Structure 1
Amino acid sequence: MLPWELNILLVSVILLLKKIYASELTFELPDNAKECFHDNLKIDSHFTLEFQVITGGNYDVDLELQSPTGKILYRETKKQYDQIDKTTEEAGVYQFCFSNEFSTFTHKTIYIDWKVDGDPEHEITRPGPRVAESALTMIEKSVEKIHENLEKSIDDQTHHRLREATGRARAEDLNQRVQDWSLGQFLLIIFVAIGTVLLLRSFFSDRKTSNMTWNR
């Protein structure tokens, strides 16, 4: 294989890798708890934060996003799902915190997807050796298109799994409530039946006692 072909192959492999720094995480947030995450970003870095409450209570959570100087960039309460896209105006440690402090007895399961683009520390740079511009451009376009389609496919599959998990959790919760209600109805019927039998027996016992008194 020729040297320029090796370079083209290397570029293709690198372009197939993610050009952005991304982290996906699913974690449990206990009741009356708060969980914070941090990331050190450069100026003019574009980041995307996507989150969704999968299970727990009313499927809602509080979220607050702060800049390195403490400026509130985003603050919402009792959100089930949202996506935040912003570009940094200052360098430093950015912090976003999920809070379940408003809940007294239900914990939440939360999915987050954190992506950063435009930060040199989070990007993969191109190799130094130059290759044929026309061939490189054609390969770049093709591989970039494949990469975008793969990214879209991965995102679609992730959202499909999240919807499936949320639907399954809701169905299991509804099933448990129906079972509890059915058990309560069953116990109530048994209690009413026993009470009715005891009440009827008391009527006949009183009548029998009255007859014995009159006979005397």
Structure 2
Amino acid sequence: MVIHGPGQTLIQTYRRKQQETYKFKTVDRGQYVFCFNNEFSSFTHKVVYFYLGIGEEESLTEEMSVKATALTQIESSCVSIHESMNAAKDYQTDYRLREYRGRTLAEMLNERVQVWSVGECIALVVLSLMQVLIVRSFFRGKPNRAPPRF
């Protein structure tokens, strides 16, 4: 992944990383460009998830304290609920991302286990047939050979 800032200035370059969290702070105003490439492996399926947190939210208490009156208990409760809801939203976003990663890993492992099981079944059938043929060859008599005389 390559991140360019305003004026095509290079900000960050990440190579051959997977399931990583990238954080950086913007300095200038303008257009930022994110470029995701598939150089690491072009045969596998890719899912890119990103979240842009833009700036810090202004505190509601500062806005309310500009007035000459003190904050009422309801206003303080509303501010507290608002901050808690923002934190819960961030936790949910992170949890969804972790759940997706875990589900993807579980599906990949399930596919590998199924392929391995099919391979073992085929090997078991082939080995069983070979053992049957070998045991049958032990009990097959040689018709043209005469028994030894003493």
TM-score (norm 1): 0.54
More helix by share: 2
SS in 2 for 1:81: coil
**1:96 paired residue number:** 34
Q: After TM superposition, give the deviation of residue 80 of structure 1 in Å.
A: 1.6
Change (3 A) 1:170 1:196: same
**1:134 paired residue number:** 68
Q: After TM superposition, give the deviation of residue 83 of structure 1 in Å.
A: 3.3
**2:44 paired residue number:** 106
Match of 2:9 among 71, 75, 78: 71
**1:86 paired residue number:** 25
Q: After TM superposition, give the deviation of residue 141 of structure 1 in Å.
A: 5.6
Distance 2:82 2:3 in 1: 30
More strand by share: 1
Q: After TM superposition, give the deviation of residue 199 of structure 1 in Å.
A: 2.3
CA contact (8 A) 1:100 1:107 kept: no
Which of structures 1 and 2 has the bigger CA Rg? 2
Distance 2:98 2:115 in 1: 26
Q: After TM superposition, give the deviation of residue 140 of structure 1 in Å.
A: 6.6
Distance 2:3 2:144 in 1: 85
TM-score (norm 2): 0.75
**Root mean square deviation, CA, Å:** 2.7
Match of 1:166 among 101, 108, 121: 101
Unaligned 5+ segments in structure 2 are: 58-65
Distance 2:121 2:14 in 1: 43
Unaligned 5+ segments in structure 1 are: 1-62, 124-131
CA contact (8 A) 1:64 1:74 kept: yes
Greater relative CO (CA pairs within 8 A, separation 6+)? 1
- The residue type paired with residue 100 of structure 1 is N
**2:63 paired residue number:** none
**Percent identical residues:** 37
Change (3 A) 1:79 1:71: farther
Q: After the TM superposition, which parts of structure 1 deviate over 6 Å for at least 4 consecutive aligned residues?
A: none
SS in 1 for 2:6: coil
CA contact (8 A) 1:68 1:94 kept: yes
